[in-house]
Structure 1
């Protein structure tokens, strides 16, 4: 993906579930956009207070506070100065009022007027229900409030990446059973492979989220970890594909 392709994305609004989702899935893209002079706005649904295997050391309130600071440091490395919290509980997005969540995203889309919106696809990448709920909310809000010509891009796992890291994903339990849902490289609309300074910057941003990344970096080694996060891939969603949940909310009618 060339610098001209990056610039054509214009104002970018990313909507994610937990601190670190934004950096893992779009950290390089956000940094390149900012370097090109584009506006980038990041939205996070929860503070990730459940993101620990040791809740005795990291009880929810303490972890939420720490991850709030970590995300601010991460975004500073990427050059992103605009951020919004949606205020949902970690692990609770699927049970939240979808109408209220979509309504808030409609407000943000109307305010920001993005040319490109980034979020999870319906699979949620890992199968996490928070990711899937955020995908539904963002898709519905995009349908109602996006300006003419805006693009909705779903984060995707390429078959190339899945093959390359299959053993690691299996051994580390990165994905829930049945995931990831992979996309052939030829079907990607954004295929960004990072290297050099921009990859180093993404990794530096991720390392600011220490509660989530220190263990992985220690286990994998910095070089291998950097290689693991060097891809950012997305598929564009056409209007005919935007209708979809069966949870009783009329996503097709938007907000």
Structure 2
């Protein structure tokens, strides 16, 4: 683990409420404890994040998830949040240049030393996640090219250890995911335990509309341990897959599976 203070001001760019907690709650808490500025950007309210849209209509779920996000960030002492206001599940169909300009304006305002987001795989393969990753990279190039860009990733050891959980929960949406990133390629690792892991669990529990089902299925202890290690790739030092059109065949980079980048 690198000294988190070396990351300076951190800007997290995510698609939905709860993305930030699953992937960076430990990182954000450590940075805040060290007195650093942390800003979170969320592209949508996640208003379609349910298997019961009749019981949770989009307007209601969006309001609930905004409150959940506020509570989760409060547990981590993160006080700055920006919302882009896009409809959930639609990011690839938004006006891309306009969306990137809006995000670039936030980057320009915050002037982060480090930007953290999804890799181009979207971690779970979700199209919104992949789109936000592309937006973040382009906005960084336009407004803060000196900022370090980190991609949240998963490792070989993570895949092996938690295969039994992944078999029970429908989290990863394409063959080849979760990624089995070699340990040698990981730029930053946080291994949470004790009070740090408990704090992350509190942040995850705050997203109850998304995590209550997981807790009922696997229990709090397993959820706590499942995401207790946060790993990141340095975008500038990692070979990335190429974009593929709808008619493309096999993955452009071996080992990345069958998922396709949007666009």
Q: What's the TM-score once normalised by structure 2's chain length?
A: 0.89
> Match for 1:31 among 29, 32, 40?
29
CA separation in 1, counterparts of 2:174 and 2:145?
A: 37
SS at the partner of 2:85?
strand
CA separation in 2, counterparts of 1:37 and 1:120?
A: 25
Q: Is the 8 A contact 1:15 1:118 kept in 2?
A: yes
Task: Give 1:3-14 correspondences, 5 Å limit.
Answer: 5-14=3-12
Q: Give unpaired runs (5+ residues) of structure 2.
A: 246-263
Tell me the equivalent position of 1:173.
170
Structure 1 residue runs of 4 or more that deviate by more than 4 Å after TM superposition: 239-247
CA separation in 1, counterparts of 2:237 and 2:154?
A: 21
More off after superposition, 72-81 vs 222-231: 222-231
Task: Give 1:25-104 correspondences, 5 Å limit.
Answer: 25-104=23-102
| Cα 1:36/1:240, change in 2 over 3 Å | closer
SS at the partner of 2:134?
helix
| Residue 139 (str. 1) matches residue 137 (str. 2) | yes
| Cα 1:109/1:246, change in 2 over 3 Å | farther
Q: What is the CA distance between 1:177 and its match in structure 2?
A: 2.5
| Cα 1:240/1:123, change in 2 over 3 Å | closer
| Residue 233 (str. 1) matches residue 231 (str. 2) | yes
Q: Give aligned pairs, total.
A: 244
Q: What is the CA distance between 1:159 and its match in structure 2?
A: 1.1
Tell me the equivalent position of 2:157.
160
Q: Give unpaired runs (5+ residues) of structure 1.
A: 248-255
SS at the partner of 1:170?
helix
Across the aligned residues of Structure 1 and Structure 2, the Cα RMSD in angstroms comes to: 1.7
CA deviation profile, 1:60-117 (whole Å, cap 9, x unmatched):
0000000010000000001000000011111100101110111011111111110000
Q: What is the CA distance between 1:205 and its match in structure 2?
A: 0.9
Q: What's the TM-score once normalised by structure 1's chain length?
A: 0.92
Q: Is the 8 A contact 1:24 1:229 kept in 2?
A: yes
CA separation in 1, counterparts of 2:31 and 2:25?
A: 10
Q: What is the CA distance between 1:171 and its match in structure 2?
A: 2.5
CA separation in 2, counterparts of 1:221 and 1:76?
A: 23
Q: Is the 8 A contact 1:113 1:147 kept in 2?
A: no
Q: What is the CA distance between 1:181 and its match in structure 2?
A: 2.2
More off after superposition, 35-44 vs 225-234: 225-234
